[in-house]
Structure 1
């Protein structure tokens, strides 16, 4: 399991949504980690991928604006992400340090009006 860190190994991971990326990132160097490289159940992998693909549903990418109820949609996304993070911690145990990084993009878009 390699990343861009000097040692090439990662033990500290963050779960964070982003467009077109798996939800796991090395907390030290920021490399995106292939979800299949982690010892997770197939069901949890599917749930994480589905969750990550919903990232940004609160943004109308054609107009670069929030959709109606965008702040609420982002809050739901973050709540689901927290729940999934806890499930990841249960499955992985103490092998990795895992933290969840909530999305704040809707708040940024709301503040730019």
Structure 2
């Protein structure tokens, strides 16, 4: 998978949700990777893509405000992300290092009174 690392490719991956991006990143340089380039099953690709599209459902984007039960919604999102990360690890095996980076945006909104 191509990235911005000096070697031009990576085997160190991070699963992370964000607005409008694929959920797989180079853990070294931070490059967002094309999920279609990751050697995982079509089924898991679809699961990850569907999960990523739910990023930020705990925020009212029009009002830039945390929704009621926003922290709970984010916690649920993070739990699913952990489960999907384990599936990615199983499918990729030892050739890749894979970690999960949980969302913390709801807590940030809550701390700032939004």
Tell me the TM-score normalised to structure 1 length.
Answer: 0.98
- Distance in 1 (CA, whole Å) between partners of 2:15 and 2:86 is 11
Tell me the TM-score normalised to structure 2 length.
Answer: 0.97
- Distance in 2 (CA, whole Å) between partners of 1:107 and 1:5 is 31
Alignment of structure 1 residues 67-78 onto 2, 5 Å: 67-78=67-78
- Distance in 2 (CA, whole Å) between partners of 1:2 and 1:110 is 37
Task: Please list every run of 5 or more consecutive structure 1 residues that lacks an aligned counterpart in the other structure.
Answer: none
Instruction: Kindly report structure 1 stretches of 4+ aligned residues shifted beyond 4 Å.
Output: none
**Per-residue deviation, 1:95:** 1.4
- Distance in 1 (CA, whole Å) between partners of 2:86 and 2:62 is 34
**Per-residue deviation, 1:87:** 0.4
- Distance in 1 (CA, whole Å) between partners of 2:99 and 2:44 is 16
**What does residue 86 of structure 1 align with?**
86
**What does residue 6 of structure 1 align with?**
6
Which digits, 9 at most, give the CA deviation of each residue in 1:47-79, with x for residues without a partner?
Answer: 000000000000000000001110000000000
**What does residue 21 of structure 2 align with?**
21
**Per-residue deviation, 1:9:** 1.1
Matched length = 113
**Per-residue deviation, 1:6:** 1.1
